[in-house]
């Protein structure tokens, strides 16, 4: 158990010796200095919890200005270190000045040993506590940075996803509420994480709540917290997600699952910027940036009376629609390559590649499960692969659609779309190479991709 380190600064060697003899048996380290000019160098060399500081260092000078100067320097450069001035009995006014300047307490000369020990013990404990709090804050900051930096890449160069990312950059710096819509597996949470990490709240947490995974009876406690005894299983106080996210971002995923009774309370919390824990009457101020997400049509739900219209207006100041993977086929090769590299490394299967024919089929498939389905498909193929090249059979084993014989399209437009998709797949998403293979310019290929929604 730490007893603490103490630095004593006084121009009188007799004073230094007397205090050192009194304190040395009780504390881990007691260092004496007679020259105040050495204080800052000593504080850099060793960690001290307390500085006992004389207020006058020159003969005939008793203003205490020199002591106040060094008190200020210590507080500026080592704010966690306690400082206790030592001053003459008649200098109570000087001691008060020192307290106003940040001193923890003061000791009057001549001192009483018992009182000096009590003062020093209290000041050392305070210094140790400040250091521990600083350490906890640093660890908390590192944890938050670690969590926030764990953002997965948003991969894609297609016009559809780039349009979304441009909007993200425009709105991230504001505190406006954002609603992200899109099918399951399109990456709505990744978009929310990108917004948070580009915002002024990036140093704080983004707290996520999956509204579909919390039962209605516990939802209020999950969002707003509760006090001990609020209900049968409330055996201790609990902080809700709103309080945890205060200062940062609150991400409510699948907000369409929010029961109507809870919608009223959510609206009230957003309007009043405060919440009340279940079982308590004391409101708690909160400061959050709200991002919500859903795969359902909230406007339609509001029209049917299933979702409060006033809440819908509150949460979707900015609406971001994340396109399904079938609408951004150009990104499929890049996503597939990213997942192939990720799972090749994870399962120690280096040098794997996707065959051009398999990539063509991936481009042709509609991916109803979007990016999540694509990732799982690649992971499964990597695990089961027996050669260095993933084939159609490796990737689409069990997919009845691809196990049937291919039927040639009968319409000219269908044939052209099929040829473009095949060329892009065979060239692993390289548009320039695909255009060369088709005998058209890159701009013509882009126009046709837009026409056919490839």
Q: Where are the domains of the chain?
A: 5-140, 159-323, 326-451
Q: From CA 417, how far away is CA 419, in angstroms rounded?
A: 5
Average pLDDT over residues 94-114: 86
Quote the mean pLDDT of the chain: 86
Long-range contacts of 415-420 (CB under 8 A, 24+ apart): 416/448, 416/452, 417/452, 417/454, 418/364, 420/445, 420/448, 420/449, 420/452, 420/454
Of 203-207, 322-326, 327-331, 437-441, minimum mean pLDDT range: 437-441
Label residue 318 by pLDDT band (50, 70, 90). Answer: very high
- Quickly tell me which residue has 């040993």 as its tokens: 113
Same fold, 5-140 and 159-323: yes
Q: How confident is the model at residue 2 (pLDDT cuts 50, 70, 90)?
A: low
Cis peptide before 110 (omega within 30 of 0): yes
What is the per-residue pLDDT for 108?
A: 84
CATH 3.40.50.2000 fits 326-451, yes or no: no
Contacts of 420 (CB under 8 A, 6+ apart): 434, 438, 445, 448, 449, 452, 454
- The pair phi, psi for residue 27, each rounded to 5°, is -120, 160
Confidence (pLDDT) at 286: 92
Query: pLDDT over 90 for what percent of the chain?
Result: 52
Average pLDDT value for residue range 330-350:
93
Residue 249 has pLDDT above 90, yes or no: yes
Phi and psi at residue 31, to the nearest 5° = -115, 140
**Strand 238-239 relative to strand 225-226, pairing:** antiparallel
Region 146-153 average pLDDT: 60
pTM: 0.64
For residues 454 and 447, what is the distance between their CA atoms, to the nearest angstrom? 10
In CATH, the architecture of 5-140 is 3-Layer(aba) Sandwich (3.40)
pLDDT the model gives residue 109: 84
Which pLDDT value is given to residue 425? 74
Using pLDDT thresholds of 50, 70 and 90, give the confidence band for residue 411.
low
Q: Are 174 and 291 in contact (CB under 8 A)?
A: no
Closest residue by Cα to residue 392 from 369, 360, 424, 422: 360
Residue 151: pLDDT over 60: no
How far apart (Å, rounded) are the C-alpha atoms in residues 450 and 444?
Answer: 10
What pLDDT shows up at residue 398? 65
Q: Quote the CA–CA distance of 32 and 48 in Å, as a whole number.
A: 12
Q: Please name which of 224, 246, 153 lies closest in space to residue 193, comparing C-alpha atoms.
A: 153
Q: Stretch 60-70: mean pLDDT, rounded?
A: 78
> Which of the pair, 139 or 156, is modelled with greater confidence?
156
pLDDT at 297 over 70: yes
CA R_g for the chain: 33
What pLDDT sits at residue 60? 53
Q: Is-contact 84 104, C-beta < 8 A?
A: yes
Token pair recorded at residue 186? 């399109």
Collect all residues with Cβ–Cβ distance below 8 Å to 408 and sequence separation of at least 6. Answer: 415
Distance in angstroms (rounded) separating the CA atoms of residues 69 and 60? 18
Instruction: Output the pLDDT for position 364.
Output: 87
pLDDT at 424: 80
Tens digit of each residue's pLDDT (9 = 90 or more) over 223-244: 998 888 878 777 888 888 999 8
Please say if the pLDDT value at position 402 is more than 90: no
End-to-end CA separation in angstroms for the chain: 67
Cα distances from 227 to residues 94, 113, 277, 282, in angstroms, run 47, 46, 7, 11
Q: Count CB-CB contacts under 10 A for residue 453.
A: 11
- Rounding to the nearest 10 degrees, give the CA dihedral for residues 71, 74, 77, 81: -120
**pLDDT reported for residue 71:** 92
Selected from 3.40.50.150, 3.40.50.300, 3.40.50.11890, 3.40.50.2300, the CATH number assigned to the domain covering 159-323 reads 3.40.50.300
Using a 10 angstrom Cβ sphere, with 0-12 exposed, 13-18 middle and 19 or more buried, the burial of residue 61 is exposed
- Record the tokens describing residue 335, joined without a space: 């996503």
Q: How far apart, in whole angstroms, are the C-alpha atoms of residue 31 and residue 245?
A: 44
Let me know: does 205 contact 141? Beta carbons within 8 Å.
no
């Amino acid at each position: 158990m730490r007893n603490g380190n103490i630095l004593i600064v006084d121009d009188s060697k007799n004073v230094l010796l007397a205090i050192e003899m009194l304190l040395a048996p009780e504390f881990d380290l007691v260092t004496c200095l007679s020259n105040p000019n050495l204080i800052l160098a000593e504080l850099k060399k060793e960690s001290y919890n307390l500085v006992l500081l004389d207020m006058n260092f020159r003969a005939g000078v008793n203003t205490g200005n020199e002591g106040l100067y060094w008190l200020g320097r210590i507080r500026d450069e080592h704010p966690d270190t306690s400082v206790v001035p030592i001053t003459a009995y008649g200098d109570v006014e000087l001691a008060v000045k020192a307290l106003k300047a940040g001193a923890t307490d003061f000791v009057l000369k001549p001192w009483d040993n018992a009182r000096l020990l009590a003062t020093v013990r209290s000041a050392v404990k305070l210094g140790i506590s400040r250091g521990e709090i600083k350490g906890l804050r640093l660890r908390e900051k590192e944890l938050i940075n670690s969590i926030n930096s764990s953002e997965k890449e948003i991969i894609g160069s297609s016009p559809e996803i780039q349009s979304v990312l441009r909007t993200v950059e425009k709105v991230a710096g504001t505190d406006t509420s954002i609603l992200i819509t899109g099918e399951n597996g399109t990456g709505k949470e990744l978009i929310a994480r990108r917004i948070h990490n580009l915002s002024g709240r990036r140093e704080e947490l983004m707290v996520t709540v999956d509204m579909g995974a919390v039962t209605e009876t516990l939802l209020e406690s999950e969002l707003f917290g509760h006090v001990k005894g609020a209900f049968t299983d409330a055996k201790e106080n609990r902080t809700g997600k709103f309080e945890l996210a205060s200062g940062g971002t609150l991400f409510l995923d699948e907000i369409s699952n929010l029961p109507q009774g809870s919608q009223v309370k959510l609206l009230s919390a957003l309007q009043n910027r405060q919440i009340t824990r279940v079982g308590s009457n004391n409101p708690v101020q909160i400061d959050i940036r709200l991002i919500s997400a859903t795969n359902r049509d909230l406007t339609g739900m509001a029209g049917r009376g299933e979702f409060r219209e006033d809440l819908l207006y509150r949460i979707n100041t900015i609406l971001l629609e994340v396109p399904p993977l079938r609408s951004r086929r150009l990104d499929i090769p890049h996503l597939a390559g990213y997942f192939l590299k990720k799972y090749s490394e994870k399962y120690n299967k280096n040098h794997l590649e996707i065959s051009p024919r398999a990539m063509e089929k991936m481009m042709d498939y509609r991916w109803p499960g979007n990016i999540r389905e694509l990732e799982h498909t690649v992971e499964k193929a990597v695990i089961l692969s027996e050669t260095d090249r993933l084939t159609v059979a490796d990737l689409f084993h069990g997919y009845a659609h691809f196990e049937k014989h291919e039927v040639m399209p009968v319409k000219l437009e269908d044939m052209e779309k099929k040829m473009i998709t095949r060329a892009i797949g065979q060239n692993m998403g390289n548009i320039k190479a695909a255009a060369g293979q088709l005998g058209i310019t890159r701009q013509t290929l882009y126009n046709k991709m837009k026409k056919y929604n490839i």
